[in-house]
Structure 1
């Protein structure tokens, strides 16, 4: 059953910056979707738009269907009820998200008091249980954020996100500030919680390798659009869009001397969302761009079984005799003929 469906999402900031442009995504309960891309590609804006957390004056279009209801058209009272209880966010940089003058247990208990209408004693008890659930002693509820390590603070953020038993977790760069050992622990914890509680997970990161190890599917964003989407390992190991391929190649692979001694990157920077180039927005940086790419934009098209990419170099899907016969009956022609 579909938990979240995003249809044609558009986000434009005051001043005309088109941060998200026509994004379509789908997520089922128990499924993990990764969203990857460089800084400025629209990943975090997408996450904020899902729960209407964008600043005033931002224009948002399209649909965000959570359990069939459009979050973008809900009354504010409904939106407040959906946040925490229906869906919650784990923000990057726990030290910036936690209140430094309140004990972490009180911060975990706050949404429980607001949404579950529990007594103060019951909320404190549940906060301790949530801390134990994410691998911290319940006694750490009395600690202030600065008394915890980076990994412990991130676990507190996850406990807070789980406080009201939401069906959807949005994790925005949840391990960026952590060392590799703690990062691995946090990722294993997130995977375990998703499996145990049948949650839907959207994980945002610039690191395709992390997303490929953690997620079922992967969407790669560039200049506010999804340019490739499909099974996470396939996208990481055999990307079809040149941007997704460059993003994957930017990280050296263990056991591959060529990538270790000559890591490949991508020259240039993502375009200004307020002044996007014509045609395919990636063509100024694309090593395989054609002259037509500067004029013609590319929509997502089928690139493989259960995979799509927005590139002129993606060949038309192979069509069997049955499909060709069906085209003949309907009066249409196969692509490329």
Structure 2
């Protein structure tokens, strides 16, 4: 398969009056053509910062290092003219909260047409037909092109955002909490639409959400973030069904399972709060909230270790926990209560 996106050692630090705040700390990700990568984690884990960094959409207070290779080109070293050419055409973003992302005083058809006119991907005489085609592709009648955003429902506005993202036929779509504000029925329709477009057109997608169940159902691979780092990654169904990192286990346990009375009547959560990014604890940053923490966890900030590697040391799953590393301290890892 062709690698569309290869993120290597991505680090993002925000400059603040009280000192620098590291929001993303050494993230590595890959997205293949026709593949979908889910990015999960609590609020403040760094998911949206990663999404915005991929196209250099972060504010001026952010300092970004590493490599973001989009079809072999490093986004972080692109000149502004080349970067403007890549946005919408090479990769596009479906932002969280379409009501705030859309211009309230412009008709939605004009907003869908704008990237096509800027990048000249469609002849001016065909723009109106292309807008109608895109609206119909996302399940809206072409007549809604003349409406302003306030005349559309939340689900319809989100579909307009998807149509805008598809306008220039990008190779990669980044969906940042694209269905958070929608009811479950519309959410299911939007997710089905995104999944269908990925498989039909062979594009890559990054789907960002705090909802592991949604990501497990619609993504090939899953990366779980905590305190600016990826703490577990691998095939989505495996990470959700049998998580190796205690944090991924806690996220999975927080969702009641249909048909399981125990999880419905006594759902398990995760006590405590994420660490202050400006002053993370020494060693493993998850240690203060981890029921499996041992003395070594205060001294070691574990890298991503392969989970159950085969004879040549390879594994489709990795977790940043000493309990899955080459030297496992103490007794076997306990499950979260």
Residues 24-44 of structure 1 deviation map (CA, whole Å, 9 limit, x = unaligned): 011110000000000000000
Matched residues in 2 for 1:211 and 1:111: separation?
A: 29
Moved over 3 A (4+): 117-121
SS of the equivalent of 1:85 reads coil
- In structure 2, the partner of 1:314 is 324
Indicate if the aligned counterparts of 2:165 and 2:173 stay in contact, CA closer than 8 A. yes
Matched residues in 1 for 2:30 and 2:92: separation?
A: 17
Indicate yes or no: 2:87 matched with 1:88: no
- In structure 2, the partner of 1:11 is 12
SS of the equivalent of 1:313 reads helix
RMSD: 1.1
**Aligned partner (choices 28, 32, 44) of residue 28 of structure 1:** 32
Q: How far 1:54 sits from its partner (Å)?
A: 0.6
Q: What is the TM-score normalised by the length of structure 2?
A: 0.92
Q: How far 1:301 sits from its partner (Å)?
A: 0.5
Indicate if the aligned counterparts of 1:103 and 1:143 stay in contact, CA closer than 8 A. yes
Q: How far 1:277 sits from its partner (Å)?
A: 1.1
Residues 158-187 of structure 1 deviation map (CA, whole Å, 9 limit, x = unaligned): 000000000000000011000111110001
Indicate yes or no: 2:66 matched with 1:62: yes
- In structure 2, the partner of 1:2 is 3
Indicate if the aligned counterparts of 2:35 and 2:205 stay in contact, CA closer than 8 A. yes
- Cα gap change, 1:149/1:214 in structure 2, threshold over 3 Å: closer, same or farther? same
Indicate if the aligned counterparts of 2:10 and 2:24 stay in contact, CA closer than 8 A. yes
Matched residues in 2 for 1:188 and 1:271: separation?
A: 35
- In structure 1, the partner of 2:186 is 182
Matches within 5 A, 1:70-81: 70-81=74-85
Matches within 5 A, 1:1-337: 1-15=2-16, 16-116=20-120, 118-304=122-308, 305-316=315-326
- In structure 2, the partner of 1:325 is none
Q: How far 1:315 sits from its partner (Å)?
A: 4.9
Query: Unmatched 5+ residue regions in structure 1?
Result: 318-337
Matched residues in 1 for 2:30 and 2:225: separation?
A: 15
Residues 9-35 of structure 1 deviation map (CA, whole Å, 9 limit, x = unaligned): 000001211110000011110000000
Q: How many residue pairs are counted as aligned between the two chains?
A: 317
Indicate if the aligned counterparts of 2:121 and 2:168 stay in contact, CA closer than 8 A. no
Query: Unmatched 5+ residue regions in structure 2?
Result: 309-314, 328-337
- In structure 1, the partner of 2:311 is none
- In structure 1, the partner of 2:312 is none
